[in-house]
Structure 1
Amino acid sequence: MADGTRAIFSALDNAKTQVYHFKAIVIAGMGFFTDAYDLFCITAVTKLLGRLYYYDPSLSKPGALPDNVNNAITGVALCGTLAGQLFFGWLGDKLGRKKVYGITLITMVGCALMSGFSFGSTAQSVMTSLCFFRFWLGFGIGGDYPLSAVIMSEYANQKTRGGFIAAVFAMQGIGILVAGAVAMFVSKSFLVAYPAPDFLTDRVLSTQPQGDFVWRIVLMFGAVPAVLTYYWRMKMPETARFTALVEGDHKKAAADMAKVLEKDIHVHDSKPPISGKSNNSYGLFSREFMKRHGLHLVGTSTTWFLLDIAFYSLQLTQKDVYPAIGLLPKAATLNAIEEVYRISRSMFLVALFATVPGYWFTVFLIDKIGRSVIQLGGFLLMSIFMAIVGFRYGDLRGEKTNCDVNSTKEFCGGNTKLFAILYGLTFFFANFGPNSTTFIVPAELFPARFRSTCHGISAAAGKAGAIIGAFVVQSYTLHTDSDGIRRAIIGLSVVNLTGFFFTFLVPETKGRSLEEISGEDKSFNAEIVPNVEMV
């Protein structure tokens, strides 16, 4: 590596933590806040959509989404996210991180608003419109994964890099929390303003027309944080590592670094400006790439894939799990907007006490105990807790066979508190575990010119797992008895255990510079040798 280039990166790696680092965390993190909000707010309103658009008066029971529609609404954004991760990940290495960053945000803002404006004269046309806009919303969200991770990794110093990237990703937990809070606030406001009928049957079967405003407001709110951060994203400089290692412009890299470190940096070239790209110019998926990084990419992709099968199966089926464990009354006793309020309140509580703390445990401990330990421990404990729930499913729920013969309850005698604790611990160790580390490590392992692309590939593999969770696992749990659900949970436990073993393909990155991890410190020979002076 050229001495000047080495000096630039050394200054970044050894820089003291300062205001700009925290500013970058907030700017990049608000994208993830928006991502999580947009992806998971749909859980709070899915059942309301069924009551609004698929109510059949002749059946004398609340309406419900057909299975194919339910799967499409919850899964189509994941399909868009997968496509966006691959496309924007590749584009981020071609055009630069900053240029692509604004495109993803505009896409997210526009499609979040249009999701709320989904139009049509029939239920089918409204759902089709909603799925169309949620696909493109997911496409924009997908771009935020590789770009936010790579930007933060390339801005951060060596000592606290893992914590900084984890803090960006931790905003996902805040987004899930706020998704529950917003849905809870909006639905409660409408309940107060438009009370449901007093008579039980009327209250359950009636769906106030105001319910149509509830789900639209909840979905459209996702545009607000994205709009608020657009200006600051456009003010962020390009990362010095991309500018120096990919574009070969050392003067601009030094100038960009000066903005980050708040120091004057002067570069004097010993030659006229010419291409400073690496002589180590092997291509993506070339034999040399596969020799150096092939197993790394397999490791980051498979672990993210396996994690997301379990993680998204849990997230997207919350609306069905809550009634089963006693956190939510059965739909047959609730008005449509009341049901939104109860589901969103349960989402909020699980996020507050299980999901969010897991993310922040990672932030504070990842640079102390390392990525591998957190990921291995998370996968293993998730597997154990899900195995307990699976093997003791009937006992924990207290199925009717255990009840008094005169009992009219569907479930009784079970330990729903223990069920809720085990369910919450699974979320906690997902986030203080592989859900965080699978995002962090791909932003550190690969060379700068492939970093965004490889992160996008790894993230897309994760979304492929999430799609399996949305379309396969969710469908299976909707159409099976308790024994089938028990088998599904045990199967997810095995998936987590498999992720535990694939983690050994991923090396530890704690305490090393990005160039040391990727091998660029040994193989990069720039044609320009600039002199760097820091004031």
Structure 2
Amino acid sequence: MAKEQLHVLDALDVAKTQWYHFTAIIIAGMGFFTDAYDLFCISLVTKLLGRIYYHVEGGTKPGILPPNVSAAVNGVAFCGTLSGQLFFGWLGDKLGRKKVYGMTLMLMVICSIASGLSFGRSAKSVIATLCFFRFWLGFGIGGDYPLSATIMSEYANKKTRGAFIAAVFAMQGFGILAGGVFAIIISSAFEAKFDAPPYEVDPIGSTVPQADYVWRIILMVGALPAAMTYYWRMKMPETARYTALVAKDAKQAAADMSKVLQTDIEAETQKVEQLAKEPVNSFGLFSKEFLRRHGLHLLGTTSTWFLLDIAFYSQNLFQKDIFSAIGWIPPAKSMNSIQEVHKIARAQTLIALCSTVPGYWFTVAFIDKLGRFAIQLMGFFFMTVFMFALAIPYDHWTHKENRIGFVVMYSLTFFFANFGPNATTFIVPAEIFPARFRSTCHGISAASGKLGAIVGAFGFLYLAQNQDKAKTDAGYPPGIGVRNSLIVLGVINFLGILCTFLVPESKGRSLEEISGENEEENGATGELEQPSAYNRTVPVT
């Protein structure tokens, strides 16, 4: 038997779309804009770092980062992000969403600036300093995932909740796009200023000063959008669901939401007293009861996010290597270091503009119509199809006349990642767990995803570089490393299809109904009564 819902939570569930919804989307979304810019801008400058700090004097080829250094530069922020997701997710349930929200943003601002100021007398010390600050940058970014998702889900109404959470996450696409556009602008500005001609051999000796400015400026600019939204984050009231259901102060929740909704909400004194008498935790995190009710759901959200991020971050971080392998980006020795940054940024910006950003907003448009389950299943399916379509006839795509076809098909994998599991894996964990565990469980799910990103960053590098060396020694045709990588990613996406069946559909239902936390305890057993529909791990039709 369901308990009577507090009026303040009912009011949020049925509220019409209002200005405060858009304000919350912008405030939370700018955090994700910054997250994406900071995480993915490093892929724009890794080759530049190799030219600057690993150039061999008198060499005839541009300097490149050693495989272990490249993996560290690309992957260290993900290690920080994983740690931050677990820590701030837990802290968000202990202290409240609002109290923790500002900490993550300030950490991102400070570490973005510090990353660009990385210092040292040798290449090793500069890279070590950069990795140190990017770890703590990732730590701050990690906190943004569970907090932004939880805040938006608890502010939204049940009819359009999916679209609102997806809109917050869609700002990630604009962050990726902004990183590419800014890299194009800054590289063009320095190229025009110094008028450096193309070189047949590595031109690093003549471009070190300006090249060193380029990567530092690109990294430091990530601090600006985060700093601009700090004040507004601090003005947001605590979510009513945390205040009422976790802090047990429904009177304060009613007062806060009366201001937000611009309407009078009854304080409900009797319900407040009853709520205060109830135990704070009917069952604990990872208790037998939690595992019975939410164990498969947590397994579903962690496994799908883990598998998705292996594929998604591998594609984003190393698409420059794939484009170089098929000849879409010219050989490094044919251009100077700043020109190379411009070419890489232009290619990644085109992918973001034509596929990544539209994919996010297709999710916003259709998630409350099609549902989370259908979109996630569809996304994993088409990512699998396109990966195998690229990998199996790989030799066909390496011919010059077929490169455009390769780029188009490769772009479609980004489109269906974002109009698919990259968005839904972020949305669902913010909806299906009880309020007192919501931020923690989202943090665990997101951390599982970043573990996948780490596997992708280090694993793809191993396949693409070590296998390419092996193929050279053994006389294999060019590109065997990239082909193997695409096949592995296709298999991973197929596994994502299977794990999706562990995740429940949450479309059109209140958070309390989905999580089952609004159900009465059965007196003798102390167990919580569950609606039969909730027990299903497949969509409720």
What is the TM-score with the length of structure 2 in the denominator?
Answer: 0.92
- Counterpart of 1:102 in structure 2: which amino acid? G
Q: Aligned equivalents of 2:22 and 2:519: distance in 1?
A: 31
Q: Aligned equivalents of 1:323 and 1:509: distance in 2?
A: 42
| Residue of structure 1 in register with 2:390 after alignment | 389
Q: Aligned equivalents of 2:43 and 2:483: distance in 1?
A: 22
The aligned runs of 1:281-300 (5 Å cut-off) are 281-300=282-301
Q: Aligned equivalents of 1:347 and 1:67: distance in 2?
A: 22
Q: CA RMSD in A?
A: 1.6
| Distance of aligned partners of 1:354 and 1:199 in 2 relative to their CA distance in 1, 3 Å threshold | closer
What is the deviation of 1:280? 5.6
Identity %: 63
What is the deviation of 1:326? 3.5
The aligned runs of 1:139-158 (5 Å cut-off) are 139-158=139-158
Contact 1:60 / 1:205 at 8 angstroms: preserved in 2? no
Q: Aligned equivalents of 1:130 and 1:204: distance in 2?
A: 21
| Distance of aligned partners of 1:199 and 1:417 in 2 relative to their CA distance in 1, 3 Å threshold | closer
Are 2:329 and 1:328 equivalent residues in the alignment?
A: yes
| Residue of structure 1 in register with 2:262 after alignment | 262
What is the deviation of 1:114? 0.2
Contact 1:115 / 1:219 at 8 angstroms: preserved in 2? yes
The aligned runs of 1:66-77 (5 Å cut-off) are 66-77=66-77
What is the deviation of 1:449? 0.2
| Residue of structure 2 in register with 1:25 after alignment | 25
| Residue of structure 2 in register with 1:164 after alignment | 164
The aligned runs of 1:423-434 (5 Å cut-off) are 423-434=410-421
- Counterpart of 2:257 in structure 1: which amino acid? M
What is the deviation of 1:479? 2.2
- Counterpart of 2:364 in structure 1: which amino acid? V
| Distance of aligned partners of 1:310 and 1:276 in 2 relative to their CA distance in 1, 3 Å threshold | farther
Q: Aligned equivalents of 2:328 and 2:29: distance in 1?
A: 31
Q: Aligned equivalents of 1:276 and 1:499: distance in 2?
A: 43
What is the deviation of 1:484? 3.3
- Counterpart of 2:294 in structure 1: which amino acid? H
| Residue of structure 2 in register with 1:444 after alignment | 431
| Residue of structure 2 in register with 1:314 after alignment | 315
- Counterpart of 2:368 in structure 1: which amino acid? D
Higher relative contact order (CA 8 A, sep 6+): 1
Q: Aligned equivalents of 2:48 and 2:67: distance in 1?
A: 14
| Residue of structure 1 in register with 2:347 after alignment | 346
Q: Aligned equivalents of 2:19 and 2:187: distance in 1?
A: 38
| Residue of structure 2 in register with 1:43 after alignment | 43
- Counterpart of 1:160 in structure 2: which amino acid? T
Residue correspondences, number? 510
Residue 265 of structure 1 aligns to a residue whose secondary structure is coil
What is the deviation of 1:205? 6.5
Contact 1:379 / 1:500 at 8 angstroms: preserved in 2? yes
Q: Aligned equivalents of 1:280 and 1:433: distance in 2?
A: 34
| Distance of aligned partners of 1:201 and 1:486 in 2 relative to their CA distance in 1, 3 Å threshold | closer
The aligned runs of 1:458-497 (5 Å cut-off) are 458-481=445-468, 482-497=479-494
Contact 1:244 / 1:276 at 8 angstroms: preserved in 2? no
| Residue of structure 2 in register with 1:402 after alignment | none
- Counterpart of 2:490 in structure 1: which amino acid? S
Q: Aligned equivalents of 1:430 and 1:276: distance in 2?
A: 46
Where do 5+ consecutive residues of structure 1 fail to align?
399-411, 526-535
- Counterpart of 1:251 in structure 2: which amino acid? K
The aligned runs of 1:81-480 (5 Å cut-off) are 81-197=81-197, 200-201=200-201, 203=203, 206-270=206-270, 275=276, 277-278=278-279, 281-398=282-399, 412=400, 414-480=401-467
- Counterpart of 2:509 in structure 1: which amino acid? R
Q: Aligned equivalents of 1:203 and 1:69: distance in 2?
A: 22
Contact 1:159 / 1:511 at 8 angstroms: preserved in 2? yes
Residue 270 of structure 2 aligns to a residue whose secondary structure is coil
Worse-superposed segment, 169-178 or 55-64: 55-64
What is the deviation of 1:474? 1.8
Residue 458 of structure 2 aligns to a residue whose secondary structure is helix
- Counterpart of 1:264 in structure 2: which amino acid? D
Worse-superposed segment, 369-378 or 471-480: 471-480
- Counterpart of 1:364 in structure 2: which amino acid? A
Contact 1:254 / 1:265 at 8 angstroms: preserved in 2? yes
- Counterpart of 2:102 in structure 1: which amino acid? G
Q: Aligned equivalents of 1:44 and 1:58: distance in 2?
A: 26
Contact 1:280 / 1:524 at 8 angstroms: preserved in 2? no
- Counterpart of 1:446 in structure 2: which amino acid? F
| Residue of structure 1 in register with 2:520 after alignment | 523
Contact 1:44 / 1:183 at 8 angstroms: preserved in 2? yes
Q: Aligned equivalents of 1:288 and 1:378: distance in 2?
A: 33
Q: Aligned equivalents of 1:237 and 1:433: distance in 2?
A: 32
Contact 1:204 / 1:334 at 8 angstroms: preserved in 2? no
What is the TM-score with the length of structure 1 in the denominator?
Answer: 0.93
What is the deviation of 1:347? 1.1
| Distance of aligned partners of 1:294 and 1:307 in 2 relative to their CA distance in 1, 3 Å threshold | same
Q: Aligned equivalents of 2:203 and 2:446: distance in 1?
A: 44
What is the deviation of 1:107? 0.4
CA displacement 1:209-231 (0-9 Å, x = unmatched): 11111000000000000000000
Q: Aligned equivalents of 1:111 and 1:524: distance in 2?
A: 47
Contact 1:44 / 1:340 at 8 angstroms: preserved in 2? yes
| Residue of structure 2 in register with 1:401 after alignment | none
CA displacement 1:435-477 (0-9 Å, x = unmatched): 0000000000000000000000000000000000001112221
| Distance of aligned partners of 1:152 and 1:434 in 2 relative to their CA distance in 1, 3 Å threshold | same
Q: Aligned equivalents of 1:515 and 1:493: distance in 2?
A: 37
Contact 1:390 / 1:490 at 8 angstroms: preserved in 2? yes
Contact 1:119 / 1:125 at 8 angstroms: preserved in 2? yes
Q: Aligned equivalents of 2:117 and 2:280: distance in 1?
A: 52
Q: Aligned equivalents of 1:199 and 1:69: distance in 2?
A: 26
- Counterpart of 1:516 in structure 2: which amino acid? E
What is the deviation of 1:202? 6.7
| Distance of aligned partners of 1:421 and 1:157 in 2 relative to their CA distance in 1, 3 Å threshold | same
| Distance of aligned partners of 1:156 and 1:51 in 2 relative to their CA distance in 1, 3 Å threshold | same
- Counterpart of 1:517 in structure 2: which amino acid? I
Worse-superposed segment, 484-493 or 300-309: 484-493
- Counterpart of 1:521 in structure 2: which amino acid? N
Q: Aligned equivalents of 2:205 and 2:521: distance in 1?
A: 68
| Distance of aligned partners of 1:508 and 1:271 in 2 relative to their CA distance in 1, 3 Å threshold | closer
- Counterpart of 1:320 in structure 2: which amino acid? D
Contact 1:309 / 1:466 at 8 angstroms: preserved in 2? yes
Q: Aligned equivalents of 1:423 and 1:13: distance in 2?
A: 40
Q: Aligned equivalents of 2:277 and 2:480: distance in 1?
A: 62
Q: Aligned equivalents of 2:50 and 2:500: distance in 1?
A: 40
What is the deviation of 1:295? 0.1
Contact 1:249 / 1:276 at 8 angstroms: preserved in 2? no
Residue 479 of structure 1 aligns to a residue whose secondary structure is helix
